Amino acid sequence: MAFLENPIYVLSMLALMVMLAVYVERTSFGRPLGAALLAIVFTAIIANMGLIPSASNTIFLYEGIFTYVAPLSIFYLMLGVNLKAIKKAGLPMIGLFVLGSLATVVGILVAWHLISPEGVLGENGPIIAGMLTGTYTGGSVNFNAIALEYDFQKQGALYAGTIAVDNVVTTVWIVVTLAMPRILKKFWKDKKGTAPKNTEEHGQKDNGMDLNSLMWLLFLGLAAFFISEALSKILPELPSILTLTTLGVILAQTPFVSKLNGAHTLGLYSVYLFLAVIGAYCEINAVLELKTLGLTLFLFTATVVLIHGITTILLGGLLYRDWSMIAIASQANIGGGPTALALAETFGRKELMLPAILVGTLGNALGTYFGFLVIQFL
């Protein structure tokens, strides 16, 4: 049906899922789950029911949200950053992220020997292992960089299948890391001693959005986005997200911008919209259609992430025992900076929002190198 790909229809459905998630979060059932997790789950359900497009039949609206809305959400949330609080969080966050990166490499090597995917994947096995190493160190930029180096995108069904499995496992891990602090604190007390806060409570700090604030926030966000993109073309080695984040942090320290109302609300809603699209990309049928190949890819990928998680939890717990920070650092590895930022926001850990983005950028630098090293080793 043509209307299922109509961008206005799809956007209205995404908005409905976000609204539903926020309302359900206010109930006794939804409060422990949080709106972020609910937005992912609700959208994944309707996408797998065929009510909106998913990864295999994606539309330009999804790409637009990834390209424009997700970065702008980071900028708006950065306008509430407290630099003094960040000083204490920076080094532990980097330490946990590096630990998680090494845990990913360990996961790849252990899963390779446990699952033996080369029997099904053949000579493409090491390349896929390298791609997964890259993407689970710091995001999809590394996944695509390694794929392009080996022309893996020409493999058609295998390339699409790897992406489908990656989407499903990444979405599941977002759900796991959202629940991680609440569950782990029951068995191993958190040094930080703070539980995830209700996101509705943070939103009230904006004190309402007036027309003057809205005009300035839209202008600043769009102008900052344009500047960051322009600079990345002049200096390709400078990630645009890093420039955008820096501009947001600098502006946050000025009295005029700090008094604008609504930045947090804009940023939070944009994050929920971004997470809803991630839910839509969780296409279970695409994995099932690959049969033996899909099962092997799924088992291998899931084992990698599981070993990453166990290693990060055990070592991170011994070193830091701040479950929210450990979950955010792990998410920066598996899902990248934007999803890590979403976790920091959901947990009410504003001091971790900027570190989440920065370690995500670090992952973009490390992931490709780790991926190529794994390919050579295997």
Which among 12-16, 32-36, 187-191, 371-375 has the top mean pLDDT? 12-16
User: Residue 178 — left, alpha, or beta (φ > 0 → left; ψ -120 to 50 → alpha)?
Assistant: alpha
Which among 140-149, 270-279, 302-311 has the top mean pLDDT? 302-311
What's the whole-model pTM score?
0.71
Q: What is the pLDDT of residues 332-373, one digit of tens each?
A: 888 887 788 888 888 888 778 778 777 777 776 677 788 888
Report pLDDT for 166.
84
Report pLDDT for 317.
85
The answer to whether the CB of 331 falls within 8 A of the CB of 325 is: no
Which helix (H) or strand (E) segment is 266 a member of? helix 263-280
For the cut 60, the answer to whether the pLDDT of residue 50 exceeds it is yes
Report pLDDT for 67.
86
Q: Binning pLDDT at 50, 70 and 90, where does residue 141 land?
A: low
For the cut 60, the answer to whether the pLDDT of residue 261 exceeds it is yes
Amino acid at 34: G
Q: Binning pLDDT at 50, 70 and 90, where does residue 197 land?
A: very low
Q: What is the rounded CA–CA span in Å between residue 73 and residue 59?
A: 21
For the cut 80, the answer to whether the pLDDT of residue 40 exceeds it is yes
Burial call 196-220: b when 16+ CB within 10 Å, e when fewer: bebbeebbeebeebeeebeebbeeb
The answer to whether the CB of 147 falls within 8 A of the CB of 129 is: no
Q: Other C-beta atoms within 10 Å of 110: how many?
A: 15
Report pLDDT for 224.
93
Report pLDDT for 175.
85
The answer to whether the CB of 320 falls within 8 A of the CB of 124 is: no
For the cut 50, the answer to whether the pLDDT of residue 32 exceeds it is yes
Q: What average pLDDT score do residues 131-138 get? A: 86
Report pLDDT for 149.
75
Q: What average pLDDT score do residues 174-193 get? A: 80
Q: What is the rounded CA–CA span in Å between residue 192 and residue 145?
A: 38
Q: What average pLDDT score do residues 85-112 get? A: 82
For the cut 60, the answer to whether the pLDDT of residue 165 exceeds it is yes
Q: What is the rounded CA–CA span in Å between residue 240 and residue 234?
A: 11
The answer to whether the CB of 177 falls within 8 A of the CB of 316 is: no
Q: What average pLDDT score do residues 194-211 get? A: 54
Report pLDDT for 363.
76
Q: What is the pLDDT of residues 217-235, one digit of tens each?
A: 999 999 999 999 999 889 8
Q: What is the pLDDT of residues 286-321, one digit of tens each?
A: 667 767 777 888 899 999 999 999 999 999 888 877
Mean of per-residue pLDDT scores for the chain = 82
